[in-house]
A and B are shown apart, each in its own frame.
Chain A
Amino acid sequence: MTIYSLYIFDRHCNCVYYQDWHRTVRPKTAVEGGMLPAVYAPVYPAANPDSLYGNRNTLSSSSGVVVAVNDEQPHTPLPTQTHSPIAPLPTPPTSSLPFDEEAKLVYGVVLSLRNMIKKLSGKDEQFVNYQTSTYKLHLYETLSGFKFVMLSDPNADSLRFVLRQIYSGPFLEYVVRNPLVGMDSRERGIDNEYFRMSTDRLIRGLTVFQ
């Protein structure tokens, strides 16, 4: 079972965190003003494009800088940028949608489905996940309005327990109790090094990962 990516949205409808493990196309840089800082360093629009991978790059090698794997080819992970290949790597394809659009679409889908289900079946029903032919989207919503959204391959079982583990583990430790991260900020995301590392470790440590 493959886990593709994780989005976290706060109660102000902003995407405050993003992390991915496997994607067929890399996310594209967001437009200026489209996304908050401190969400995902590689797609944050920097004034100087060179600084994109400068000291703002909080992705250490343990956090899964994953290259794209095309659907038709066999599942061989290409070497990451930390190893220098003999031949130059083909650049992974980039999505045509900028990251902020993508995040807004994901949030829109989640919100609309949730509201529709509440209207259809009453307020005790909870939208848990939905599935398409290529992915399955799992949602875990906290009482405080944070929405943890995870995309995985369609054959996965419900990953709500994973999202709950992320919430009660790394999130409470390194986001809520971190003095440098503002919880209800409308101007910043919640990205930080320890949170990224511990979520990555948690996901990779799952027996069902990969």
Chain B
Amino acid sequence: MASRNSFQTPANRPSSSTSSVPSLAAVADPPPRYIDGAAMDYFVIEMVNTLRASSAVATARVKKVEKELVDAGLMPPSAPAPPTLKKSQLRDSIGSDASLHPVSKDGNCEDDEELRARLEAIGMHVGANMAERLCHERGLFSDTLDAIKFICKDLWNACWEKQVDNLRTNHRGVYVLQDNSFKPLTRISGWEGRAESLKRARVYVAMPAGIIRGALGRLGYQATVVPEVTVLPQCTFQVKLPKGS
């Protein structure tokens, strides 16, 4: 996802007459391909809007079914339920239909939870595959810190063209990655004031959190990643790795 201003397609490799297998070398070590950063941004914008609409439809459908059950007397009217079930068991991008969303004044927040869950699930697949690609020629990780450093340098470079600005750890499995100018957040700006823009920006760090989580997952580290935005465009990710890994 490193951005360039134009697409780079695999060029026709000039076959050298001296080497007998020029094409094999090209296959084994392909030239890096890039995606246009602007095109990526447009895709992400559309993806978020589409998923928002689709998660609203899914939630409405669930609520309707619940209401029918309640009306038919098969289910007691639901008291305000605890927040959504763990999404970590999701294998695909569709949110869990069993999650209950209490109707509250903060209606936006509840819908956003579904949306963020979907985005994180997408990010996990993307991150896993990116990790496959980026790790294909390096050795094993010596320890978890090495894996985290890989995330901070190689993954960040590939996705967002820079490296993490600050890495902190408590040496007990919790790492905090801080990026002072996180690429997906650099252009987010609204007209209703900073607080409102901040609230809306939270959705756009869900997929990057998923990417980090997916990458670590594919490499064998089951982590939880919690993104946090306090000041645009700064963003921190808290990565919790389980004990003993």
Chain B residues with Cβ below 8 Å from A76 are none
User: Nearest Cβ distance between residue A36 and chain B, in whole angstroms?
Assistant: 11
Chain B CB within 8 A of A195 CB: yes
Task: Give the distance to chain A from B46, nearest Cβ to Cβ, in Å.
Answer: 10
Instruction: Give the docked Cα–Cα distance between A99 and B38 (Å).
Output: 34
- Residues from chain B with a CB closer than 8 A to the CB of A194 are 187, 189
Cα(A177)–Cα(B189), bound, Å: 10
Of chain A, the residue at the smallest CB distance from B192 is A56
Q: Are A180 and B190 in contact (CB under 8 A)?
A: yes
CB-based closest 5 A-B pairs: A194-B189, A192-B189, A191-B191, A55-B193, A38-B191
Q: Which residues of B contact A179 (CB under 8 A)?
A: 41, 44-45, 48, 187-188, 204
Q: How many A-B residue pairs have CB under 8 A?
A: 51
Q: Which residues of B contact A (CB under 8 A)?
A: 38, 41-42, 44-45, 48, 187-195, 197, 200-201, 204
Kindly name the residue among B45, B187, B189, B197 whose own CB sees the greatest number of chain A CB atoms within 10 A. B189
CB-contact partner of B190 in A173, A177, A192, under 8 A: A192
| A195 closest partner in B (C-beta) | B189
25 A-B contacts (beta carbon < 8 Å) = A37-B191, A38-B191, A38-B192, A55-B192, A55-B193, A56-B191, A174-B187, A177-B38, A177-B42, A178-B188, A178-B189, A179-B45, A179-B48, A179-B187, A179-B188, A179-B204, A180-B189, A180-B190, A180-B200, A181-B190, A189-B191, A192-B191, A193-B190, A194-B189, A195-B189
Contacts of B191 in A (CB 8 A): 37-38, 41, 56, 58, 189, 191-193
Question: In whole angstroms, how far apart are the Cα atoms of A177 and B200 in the complex?
Answer: 15
> CB within 8 Å of B: which residues of A?
37-38, 41, 55-56, 58, 173-174, 177-181, 189, 191-195
Q: Which residues of A contact B200 (CB under 8 A)?
A: 180
Which one of B45, B48, B197, B201 contacts A193 once the chains associate, using CB atoms below 8 Å? B197
Question: Most chain-A CB neighbours within 10 Å: which of B41, B42, B188, B200?
Answer: B188
Known: A177-B38, A193-B194, A194-B189. 9 other contacts (CB 8 A): A38-B191, A56-B193, A174-B189, A179-B48, A180-B200, A193-B191, A193-B197, A194-B187, A195-B189
